[in-house]
Chain A
């Protein structure tokens, strides 16, 4: 709305006000973008398996045939995060298997404190691209685990490696980090 009666100064003030409004929207937009990045990040990671996150639900047992022509070496590594006084280790450090074959590995957790504690194991796979190909049928990481003082528990992991695993991958590492469980 141009008005002849406005002085030059008033016209500039009006122009300034309009531009400021636009710029403030830009600031709000950037702030929203920051929060939108949180779900976007998860979507991107689960689409591409970028950060080695595996599925949190049990996989359906594959009907695919076992690929006897190749071997995959799956190594296990475990960590306990600060705040959880547990010992936690796999009974075997690695397993060699054919893609498609179902394996069971036992993990042992022991509460060394004199308090009841609840933990949650968070898995991660290296290389990240292989994450989508490691299928867990049964895993202690699907739910929180509670241990009484001094209690020791053997927890099974049943899994198979999908035969669709890229040809160049012959080794992968499955890492579990036991965190103190988050209260919901």
Chain B
């Protein structure tokens, strides 16, 4: 009832200025900018935590951090990077670009969009507040269980666990609201003539991500709620003495946790092919094959979860099932890799910063995928499990595959969003520093893991010293080179060479038909797509 009457008020050209503009905005571009800015800030918060950890791991022995604080940093680093840096970055691009790419005036549910964003800052505060409280003698710091919340440790832990549980609730609500908004926008707001199979790849990636979020985030919410009632209300979901089972938590958690990997990656798989086709100046290869691969990966991702805890104890048939189904994901992924490479094949390629990141991304993400295949092997996993090999593997998928992909997207769309060209020289420097220091950080960790160094431990045996030293130095280079990224973004937002509408010579799609930057209200008349 009320929606039809309220709807007319949104046509205002006027909007409040100053802080109220950002607090009350329902404009998809404003909200997208807020998501992206929040993500960038949290990227540095999470990054400084891991630099403290790398500083501690520079040498064997305990120098800087006590073990409890070390454990807290490990868990909060992961939660922040996943939920507060990577996911909001993808959602920020979705807000900015999906309406422009499908020729819609705005997201379908603008007000919901505003709530979705403003749930994020409180949850970031909830995650980090226990650190500050501990300084004043309240509680014993943030959650120290690692981001996975495994009981019984998480049932015994201090108030940090409760804070993290509520933060996860808020983050989950935010993601679910965002997903509902994106699905409704993609289904109902496309320009006339744009069928689902004509949607840009980025829209497809997000559509699958949104459905995965809706299917799995509530399971995580349920699992952490059970944890909360186990902690405070006398239930025994995960307590063996009361008839529960701590292993069940691992099943519930990873039922969410594995699709989460694809939730983080699918939006990136969406826009990377768009970048590749732009800078190869030829049409994307295998659009349909890529869309079907997205479906296959989305479907497979929810039935493979137990490969995260092969060593927890499972009968052989279950081990085999989870091994083969996990390995099966590499088939549609191989199709994607083939399409990405074939898109560049014999193209008239040029290597501006977004393309450098995209090509580097293919190689590094490929390493992440192949080492994942090694981990999926039940027999071999007994050696790799819970070692630094796993740490290196998932940083190749989530830092290279996730964050470096997001960086490619940032450089690709930044001129469109700000109307100015960024400094190509600094961008390229940023790429080479990032790619080289990233590899120097994590390649040693593969070897450390193979040699038996366990993850999440603040001290280590002497034979691991050299590789840890290399890894720590490279991690600091990696961390500090990200300041170049910020400098480039900020100076690009402030001014610089004017960007053309199309920005890139080979760019295709509706977003490149608009002026740079696009007007506050765009596509109020929907374009017709042939």
Contacts and interface: CB of A to CB of B under 8 A. Distances in A.
Interface in B176-233: 176, 179-180, 183-184, 187-189, 214-223, 226
Q: Do most interface residues of chain A lie in helix, strand or loop, or is the interface mixed?
A: helix
A34 B184 contact: no
B17 interface: no
Interface in A17-66: 17, 19-20, 23-24, 26-28, 30-31, 33-35, 37-38, 41-42, 45, 48, 50-53
Contact of B240 (A19, A33, A179, A183): A179
Interface stretch (B116-124, B311-319, B487-495): B311-319
Interface residues of A, number: 44
Contact of B7 (A10, A26, A82, A129): A10
A50 B241 contact: no
A30 B214 contact: yes
State the main secondary structure of chain B at its contact with A: helix
Nearest to B176: A27
Contacts of B184: 16, 19-20, 23
Contact of B221 (A24, A31, A51, A183): A31
A28 B318 CA distance: 29
A52 B312 CA distance: 12
B183 A51 contact: no
Interface stretch (B245-253, B284-292, B320-328): B245-253
Given A30-B216, A31-B221, A34-B219, A48 B240 contact: no
B251 A41 contact: yes
A35 to B, nearest CB: 6
Interface in B235-249: 236-237, 239-242, 245, 247-248
A81 interface: yes
B66 interface: no
A182 B241 contact: yes
A52 to B, nearest CB: 7
A31 B222 contact: yes
A15 B219 contact: no
Interface string A1-23: 00000000110111111011001
A34 B318 CA distance: 21
Contact of B109 (A14, A16, A50): A16
A-B complex: 3 closest residue pairs judged by Cβ atoms: A34-B222, A179-B241, A30-B218
